[in-house]
Structure 1
Amino acid sequence: MTQTVLLALDTSTEYCSAALVSASVDAAGQLTAEPRVWLRHEQTGAVSSTRLLPAIRELFDEAGLTLADCDAIAFGSGPGSFTGLRTATGVAQGLAFGLNLPVVPIGTLLVCAESARLRDPSTTRVLAALDARMDEIYWADYAWDHAQREWHTVQTASLDAPERLVLPDGPFTLAGNAAAAFGERLPAATAARSVDGEALPHALPLAYAALRAFHAGRTVPADRAAPDYVRDKVAQTTAERMADKAAKSAKAVHAAVQSEQSAERSPDGASGQPSSDEARP
């Protein structure tokens, strides 16, 4: 049995969520007793970046701990708000790099599944679905492995129209806010054994999932931590935007040249040559 101190961060939604957990765990990373938890979960909208570091300081002050006491730092890696994902990733990287700590990326859809199971321990199959805006849904399918005491990924995080979600092959819980966002357009809502609209990205279930991942060795060095956007092409990089603009310009120039060449051709199609009528004396 070991004592593990883990900091978990999530800013993938309109909430700034941070949890500090001190837990006794066995060799498999399973809790042997209820952990001590310090939590901040505040609706901040688009300003999570200004609230996250102060929230972290408050947690350590309350716990009487310092960053040096941490064994690992976990963050919600996505999908979710692009800006929010970058905020959590950057803060986790910065803190972990300075202390040479491992980083534990945890998918936000997996956090929804973990949240649903924490709220109802009988939950063993979860279709996690979050409103992705732009009339689409982020979704993934998870099954609880009793032997391993861990989630098994049946379907990795995907992006689809609400009507295209693939239903699990057995009774399942629908976790996340997709049912509230899309209503009857989401067949999974009526097919589900239960719908848990409160099972959303949150630092506490993230911390529980991260404790198991940390003890299983599913960590990355700070410089390799990265968001999982899923919808990669919505936010183009500057280079991509410039390349796209250049390609469109080249296409426009090519079309103009083709049009000009067509106009210069004679009616019989012989480019640059007079027509038969023009050739007669």
Structure 2
Amino acid sequence: MKLLALDTSTEACSVALRLNDEVLALDEVCPQQHSKRVLPMVQQLLSDAGLTLSQLDGLVFGKGPGSFTGVRIGVGVAQGLAFGADLPLYGISTLAAMAQAAQRLHQARQVLAAIDARMAEIYFGEYQLDDSGVMQLQGLEQAIRPELLQPRTHSAECTAVGTGWQTYGAVLQQWQPAQSTDILYPSARDMLTLAGPAWQAGSFVAAEQAEPSYVRDTVSWQKLPGR
């Protein structure tokens, strides 16, 4: 199985290549530079592996949530590459990818993932590790003000990931104490792990069927004073 994953949905730009059991990955924090960096990073990994795009089996992309512009860049680049090489696609949640990173790096079993969504909101999802070592979403991903999160029905030890915990840590820790980590952004490496079961199940789709997941589809802009 040869899969390439890319993500540009947050401040980080991430690309990873899976060759059977081996993974090559590049991660850069480069705000507003994703459109310039993502294709060179893809080419670097393919060159390091001695592969061309057409030799891959499929592409994986970060479908969001995250920056609207960043999500669109990632989906657009993935679709362009897929059309050119006639490859199938599969989208992975950025929140799920961070949860999977917590399992890989900290052996976490229950993860609360939160991305700063601006406008006093977070993109939020709760994940639980299944028996195969893959993080599974509990409930729904949502865009919500941190103080409006509903009380949890259980108090199992949780791991915190994402910039939402950095920005709204005091509120979130009061709502549910969680073990803090240094995982702020999703990595394409973990998207490959999550895409494995989808590949085995035949869930990859044609390029024209790839869709983003903004979670928050409508945005209310406040008029600036004097404008």
TM-score (norm 2): 0.89
Q: Give 2:206's match in structure 1, choosing from 221, 226, 239.
A: 221
Other-structure match for 2:185: 200
Instruction: List structure 1 runs of 4+ shifted beyond 4 angstroms.
Output: none
Secondary structure at the aligned position of 1:158 is classed as: strand
What is the CA deviation profile of residues 131-185 of structure 1, one whole-angstrom value per residue up to 9, with x for unaligned ones? 1111111001111121x44333212210111112243623221221222111312
Aligned mates of 2:174, 2:46 — CA distance in 1: 41
Confirm or deny that 1:89 pairs with 2:86.
no
1:109 Cα deviation from its structure 2 partner: 0.5
Other-structure match for 1:15: 12
Aligned mates of 2:24, 2:184 — CA distance in 1: 19
Alignment of 1:85-234 (within 5 A): 85-121=71-107, 123-146=108-131, 148-166=132-150, 167=152, 169=154, 170-187=156-173, 191-192=177-178, 194-198=179-183, 200-234=185-219
Q: Give 2:62's match in structure 1, choosing from 76, 91, 96.
A: 76
1:168/1:38 Cα in 2 relative to 1: closer, same or farther (>3 Å)? farther
C-alpha contact 1:77 1:89 (8 A) present in aligned 2: yes
List gaps (5 residues or longer) in structure 2.
222-227
Aligned mates of 1:149, 1:44 — CA distance in 2: 30
Secondary structure at the aligned position of 1:228 is classed as: coil
Aligned mates of 1:66, 1:168 — CA distance in 2: 49
Q: Provide the alpha-carbon RMSD of the alignment.
A: 1.9
C-alpha contact 2:13 2:30 (8 A) present in aligned 1: yes
Secondary structure at the aligned position of 1:51 is classed as: helix
Secondary structure at the aligned position of 2:51 is classed as: coil
1:168/1:62 Cα in 2 relative to 1: closer, same or farther (>3 Å)? farther
Other-structure match for 1:256: none
C-alpha contact 1:130 1:178 (8 A) present in aligned 2: yes
What is the CA deviation profile of residues 224-253 of structure 1, one whole-angstrom value per residue up to 9, with x for unaligned ones? 1111111111289xxxxxxxxxxxxxxxxx
C-alpha contact 2:57 2:88 (8 A) present in aligned 1: yes
Alignment of 1:33-52 (within 5 A): 35-52=21-38
1:129 Cα deviation from its structure 2 partner: 1.0
C-alpha contact 2:92 2:195 (8 A) present in aligned 1: yes
1:195 Cα deviation from its structure 2 partner: 1.9
Secondary structure at the aligned position of 1:141 is classed as: strand
Q: Give 1:63's match in structure 2, choosing from 25, 49, 69.
A: 49
C-alpha contact 1:12 1:82 (8 A) present in aligned 2: yes
C-alpha contact 2:12 2:185 (8 A) present in aligned 1: no
Instruction: Point out the structure with max Rg over C-alpha.
Output: 1
List gaps (5 residues or longer) in structure 1.
24-34, 237-281
Aligned mates of 2:92, 2:39 — CA distance in 1: 20
TM-score (norm 1): 0.73
C-alpha contact 1:125 1:142 (8 A) present in aligned 2: yes
1:141/1:190 Cα in 2 relative to 1: closer, same or farther (>3 Å)? closer
1:14/1:235 Cα in 2 relative to 1: closer, same or farther (>3 Å)? farther
Aligned mates of 1:232, 1:82 — CA distance in 2: 9
